[in-house]
Amino acid sequence: MDRSQNRGWVGGGVLILLGLLFLLARFVPTLTPYVVLFIGLGLFGLFLITQAYGALIPAGIVTGVGVGIVLASRSGGDAGGAAFMLSLGAGFLAIWVLGLLFRVPENHWWPLIPGSILILVGVAALGSRTAQTLLESLSNWWPLILIILGGWLILRQLQRPRHR
C-alpha cells in the first residue's frame, strides 16, 4: 500500500480509537487522567505506521502532557508541578531522539530548546538548592549559549561549498 491508501486506514483507525477512548473515560471515571496520555501514545503509533515527522511532534508533546497529568494527579503541590514540567520536557526531547533513531529526514534540533528549558524549570521546582543555584547562574550567562550557537551556525555556513 502506498501513502495515499494508508491515509484512510490510519485516519479511520484514529477516529475509532479516539471515540472508544472518550466513551470509555465517560463510563470509567478513574481513566480520565489517562485520556491525554492514551491520545499521545496513539499519535506515537501513527508515527510508527507513517514515519511522518508531522505525527512525531504532536506525539511527543501530547504524551509529555499526558504523563504530566497522570503524575500530577498522583502527587501534590510542588512535586506535581515539577513532574508535569519534567514530563513535558521529556516529551520534547523524545521528538528529537526518535527523529534520530528512525532517521526522519525532517528531524531538527529545535525540540532540544523547549525540552531543556522545561526540564530545568522542573528540576528547580523540585526545590533542590543545587538546581536553584544552577538556574541562577544560567540566568546570568545564558546569552553565551546564543553566542556559541550563532558562531557554530556561521562556521557551518562558511564550511559549505559554494555553488555558482
Q: What is the dihedral of CA 16, 59, 71, 123, to 10 degrees?
A: -170
Question: pLDDT tens-digit profile of 4-46?
Answer: 555 666 667 777 777 888 888 788 888 888 889 988 998 898 8
Residue type, 64: G
Number of other CB atoms surrounding residue 46 within 10 Å:
21
Taking a C-beta distance cutoff of 8 angstroms, is the pair 47, 56 a contact?
A: yes
Average of pLDDT values for 38-59? 89
d(CA 75, CA 62) in angstroms, rounded, equals 20
**pLDDT value at residue 75:** 79
**pLDDT value at residue 61:** 96
d(CA 73, CA 39) in angstroms, rounded, equals 17
- Is the pLDDT at 127 greater than 80? The verdict is no
- Is the pLDDT at 3 greater than 60? The verdict is no
Q: Give pTM, 2 decimals.
A: 0.70
**pLDDT value at residue 37:** 92
Residue 75's region, left for phi above 0, alpha for psi from -120 to 50, else beta, is beta
Dihedral sign for Cα atoms in the order 26, 27, 33, 38: negative
Taking a C-beta distance cutoff of 8 angstroms, is the pair 81, 42 a contact?
A: no
Ordered by start, the domain boundaries in the chain are 3-128
Question: pLDDT tens-digit profile of 63-91?
Answer: 999 999 998 888 766 678 888 999 999 99
Residue type, 89: G
